[in-house]
A and B are shown apart, each in its own frame.
Chain A
Amino acid sequence: AQRVTQPEKLLSVFKGAPVELKCNYSYSGSPELFWYVQYSRQRLQLLLRHISRESIKGFTADLNKGETSFHLKKPFAQEEDSAMYYCALRGSGAGSYQLTFGKGTKLSVIP
């Protein structure tokens, strides 16, 4: 079974402060990990894939297989970063089509 845990429901930081949104997963094989962002009442948008090893809007995330984590980080938070962030996992085996989402973390950046 695959499971994604986002331990914080709400994270408040001041503008300019560093941000770390935590994501831990449970999966026996080699997963594909994603971060999605949902701005107020909008669609979920793909933010990052661990395979791409890219930085989007200043956010980065590194897959740590030893700690089974995929934390999302940004060195300096901006007000426009306020949104819901979802970590998601897709398995690697045959028939692994389903994205399993965490419950999400609401990031609030205080001006």
Chain B
Amino acid sequence: DAGVIQSPRHEVTEMGQEVTLRCKPISGHNSLFWYRQTMMRGLELLIYFNNNVPIDDSGMPEDRFSAKMPNASFSTLKIQPSEPRDSAVYFCASSPTGGFGGYTFGSGTRLTVV
């Protein structure tokens, strides 16, 4: 297994543009998590899916952020419109159901909004 795969690795966009981040979890993992990492706030959980269903999106900062998981092998995190304060590294992680045993993280997407 290639692990959790995220794309793109780097994204630079202008303020106001739509940004879509992609994640392919490990096959057989039922849980998927999106985290945001910044120097100031560390790692923050944005949203958690279990069996493709969003379970907890209380960490999504505002309506500009949305996430989907149309099937077990793909998830997207969309920011529309993007703002400079959204600049961060966004990590996707997957695990067996419920996060038991810890997560496997992707390599992250480094987003810069100028």
* Chain B interface SS verdict (over half): strand
CA distance A49 to B98 in the complex (A): 16
A2-43 interface mask toward B, CB cutoff 8 Å, 1 = contact, 0 = none?
000000000000000000000000000000101010000011
A104 CA to B44 CA in the complex, in Å? 12
Q: Complex: how many Å from CA A103 to CA B56? A: 21
Pair A99/B99 contact, Cβ less than 8 Å: yes
Contacts of A49 in B (CB 8 A): 101-102
Interface residues on B, range: 20 to 34
Q: Is B48 a contact of A44 with CB atoms below 8 Å?
A: no
Are A97 and B102 also in contact (CB < 8 A) when A42-B107, A43-B91, A43-B108 are? no
Question: What is B's interface to A at a CB cutoff of 8 Å?
Answer: 31, 33, 42-43, 45, 48, 50, 55-56, 91, 93, 98-108
**B42–A97 touching, CB < 8 Å:** no
Provide the residues of chain A in CB contact with B91, threshold 8 Å.
43-44
21 contacts between A and B (CB under 8 A): A32-B100, A34-B102, A36-B105, A43-B106, A44-B91, A46-B102, A46-B103, A49-B101, A96-B98, A97-B48, A97-B50, A97-B55, A97-B56, A97-B98, A97-B99, A98-B33, A98-B48, A99-B99, A99-B102, A101-B43, A103-B42
State how many angstroms separate the Cβ of B5 from the closest Cβ of chain A. Answer: 11
The residues in A between 69 and 103 inclusive whose CB is less than 8 angstroms from any CB of B are: 86, 88, 90, 96-99, 101-103
Least CB distance from A110 to B in Å reads 23
Contacts of A86 in B (CB 8 A): 42-43
Return A6 CB to nearest CB of chain B, in Å: 9
With A34-B102, A43-B108 in contact, do A104 and B42 touch (Cβ < 8 Å)?
Answer: yes
Chain A, interface size: which category?
20 to 34
A45 touches B48 (CB 8 A): no
Q: Is the CB of B107 within 8 A of A43?
A: yes
Residues of chain B within 8 A (CB-CB) of A43 are 91, 105-108
Give chain A residues whose Cβ lies under 8 Å from the Cβ of B31: 97
A42 to B4, alpha carbons, bound, how many Å? 13
Cα A103 to Cα B43 in complex, Å, equals: 7
